[in-house]
Amino acid sequence: MTRKQSASPFLQLVIISVRGVECYFSIHSSLGTGMRNHVLRNEISQEVHARPFQKLYPEIGVVHIAATCSKEEQGELHKYLAQLTRNEGIVPPEDFTRFFHAAGERTAIRYEPHNEFYTLTLYQLDSRSTQRLTPYWKKLPGDMLCGVEILFEDQQAGIPNPKEYFGDRQISGSEVMGGAGRVWTDFFPAGEDNLVTILVQNVSLKSFQAGRLIQRLCEIETYRHTALLALPDAQKVMPLITQMDQQLADVTHSIASNSNSQELLQELMQLAAKVEELSADTANRFSASEAYFSVVDSRITELREDRIEGLQTLSQFVERRLYPARKTCQSANARIDRLSIRIARATELIRSQVDLSIEQQNQQLLTRLNDRSRRQLRLQAKLESFTIIVVTYYAFDLVERSIRNTVPAEELRDDILLWVSFSVPLIAGVLWWYVRRLLKHYGEDDL
């Protein structure tokens, strides 16, 4: 019996298990340490949860403020927010560079920084009034863009009389969220605090629905104001665009009348520089404005309004009042783009004329060069006869002198010179053929 056959079955099983474990660790070590998390995974995952809606219950009062703040004032703003949260029994965050929301017993605070402004929403949880919140937001640093006061009440209080809140001003209102709530407002900043008042009545809103509704109303008020930041720029550049349009039209007419292309091209280059400067000054503002208008459209659509008899809806008010301003901003931006394109086309047209003029000048220059070459060839042809005569003369003279010096007999010398004299035409013919052969290829290349 061999040694392998003498091993017990248990020992063989242990050996196989040990080898399997060694094989597993060998494969695992060869594959590396395994899957790793991307460095931005957590940040990307948390982005969709960065600005959650809050659970809200009537009766409460809400004040929403949007304001701009310089970099020098941001430190002061963060210190004030930290002090405000502590006074309300709320633990402040480590920094206020991101979205922050926290609620105390009586007050909730929602802070949201944006690229060019920030928003602060204060909730008075124990009353529908907002009087206690007024001292808080008035001490905020920065320049106030807009403010809205939202009074959120329950249906049990009965249907409110909007005139008690808005007086004789035109009121907009609608049922929202499929009839789960009602909203009234006049979109007019009134009172000592210059805040827009929005009255919200709960019909069958759930807590998160109420939070979404309040937040959408705040965002509509915020973004309709920030979108209009581009309107003064649009009204300012409209006359300039009209002036540049007329200047471009004058240049175009001059192109048609075959004026000086160099002067027109220089004028177009100056006009193009002005348009590009204008575009650089307004492009970011117009682009941001269009983005804000899109947010307003989205938030109004999310309200899912149903008409209240006798009142215009919020969407009708916004469309009627904001649409002209929006079209003005869009028109100004589009006119700048079209003007730039038209200047480019006019510049291309002038350059085409300049290129055509240069081609014509080159063609004329080539024609003159060809004429000069032809004259040179004709002159060369005329000089060939003189060249042949001169060469024939010197050839005959060379032969004659050679004969006179080498032939001593006078009679023989005279006979030889006689035959040489008769051979002059032959010498001239040979020379003419030889010269023509030399100049033949040069003449063909020049032509």
One domain for residues 336 and 292: yes
**Cα radius of gyration (the chain):** 48
Quick check: 245 pLDDT over 80?
yes
Query: Is 305 domain-assigned?
Result: yes
Instruction: Check pLDDT > 80 for residue 418.
Output: no
**Mean pLDDT on 62-70:** 93
Tokens of 38: 């991307």
pLDDT digit string, tens, across residues 75-108: 899 999 999 999 888 888 888 888 888 888 889 9
| Nearby residues of 439 by Cβ (< 8 Å), 6 or more positions away | 380, 384
Residue 153 located in a structural domain? yes
The yes-or-no verdict on residue 422 having pLDDT over 80 is no
Alpha-carbon span 189 to 328, nearest angstrom: 23
**Strands (E) located in 155-273:** 172-176, 181-190, 195-202
Phi (first) and psi of residue 358, to 5 degrees = -65, -40
Mean pLDDT of the chain: 83
Q: What is the pLDDT of residues 115-160, one digit of tens each?
A: 899 999 999 998 888 888 888 888 899 899 999 999 999 887 667 7
Q: Is residue 30 part of a domain?
A: no
Domain match, 343 and 398 both:
no
Q: Is the pTM of this model over 0.75?
A: no
Same domain, 127 and 260: no
pLDDT of residue 232: 94
pLDDT at 6: 45
* 248-263 per-position pLDDT tens digit: 988 888 877 766 777 8
387 falls in which pLDDT band (50, 70, 90)? confident
In this structure, is residue 340 part of a structural domain?
yes
What pLDDT is stored for residue 33 in this prediction? 62
Confidence of residue 236 (pLDDT cuts 50, 70, 90): very high
Q: Higher confidence at residue 447 or residue 278?
A: 278
Q: What's the average model confidence in pLDDT over 365-375?
A: 86
| Mean of pLDDT values over 346-372 | 84
Question: What is the rounded CA–CA span in Å between residue 123 and residue 149?
Answer: 10
Least confident of 18-32, 111-125, 236-250, 356-370: 18-32
Residue 43 pLDDT greater than 60, yes or no: yes
| Helix (H/G/I), strand (E/B), else coil: 160 | coil
Q: Mean pLDDT lowest for which of 22-26, 113-117, 316-320, 362-366?
A: 22-26
Residue 374 scores a pLDDT above 70: yes
150 and 274: one domain? no
Q: Which two tokens stand for residue 419?
A: 């035959």
Residue 380 has pLDDT above 90, yes or no: no
Same domain, 79 and 209: yes
Residues 100, 45 contacting (CB under 8 angstroms): no
Domain co-membership, 346 together with 380: no
147 and 61 together in one domain: yes
Q: Is 311 exposed, middle or buried (0-12, 13-18, 19+ CB in 10 A)?
A: middle
* Spatial separation of the C-alpha atoms in residues 423 and 418, rounded to whole Å: 9
Instruction: Show which of 330, 363, 396 is a domain's final residue.
Output: 363
- My answer on whether 310 and 384 are in the same domain is no
> Does residue 13 have a pLDDT over 50?
no
- End position of a domain, from candidates 164, 185, 214: 214
Of 214, 245, 265, at which residue does a domain stop? 214
- Does 104 lie in the same domain as 163? yes
Helix H or strand E segment including 104: none
Q: Is the pLDDT of residue 50 over 80?
A: no
Q: Quick one: 334 and 413 in the same domain?
A: no
Distances (CA, A) of 69 to 31, 75, 78, 142, 161: 53, 10, 11, 4, 38
Owning domain of residue 340: 229-363
Are 201 and 258 in a shared domain? Answer: no
Q: How far is CA 196 from CA 24, 101, 148, 299, in A?
A: 70, 23, 5, 18
Q: In angstroms, rounded to a whole number, what is the distance separating the alpha carbons of residues 93 and 91?
A: 7
**Can you give the pLDDT at residue 10?**
47
Whether the pLDDT of residue 337 is over 90: the answer is yes
For residue 230, is pLDDT > 50? yes
Query: Is 243's pLDDT higher than 90?
Result: yes
CB of 320 closer than 8 Å to CB of 148: no
Bridging pattern class, strands 195-202 and 143-154: parallel
Residue 5 lies in a domain: no
Q: Is residue 152 part of a domain?
A: yes
Q: Is residue 238 part of a domain?
A: yes
Least confident of 316-320, 382-386, 443-447: 443-447
pLDDT of residue 205: 93
pLDDT digits (tens, 9 = 90+) for 278-334: 999 999 999 999 999 999 999 999 999 999 998 999 999 999 989 999 999 999 999
Kindly state whether residue 369 falls inside one of the protein's structural domains. Answer: no
Model confidence at 173, pLDDT cuts 50, 70, 90, reads: very high
- Higher-confidence position of 355 and 298: 298
**Average pLDDT of span 401-423:** 76
For residues 386 and 440, membership in a common domain is answered with yes
Candidates 253, 254, 246; CA nearest to 271 is 246
- Domain count of the fold of the chain: 3
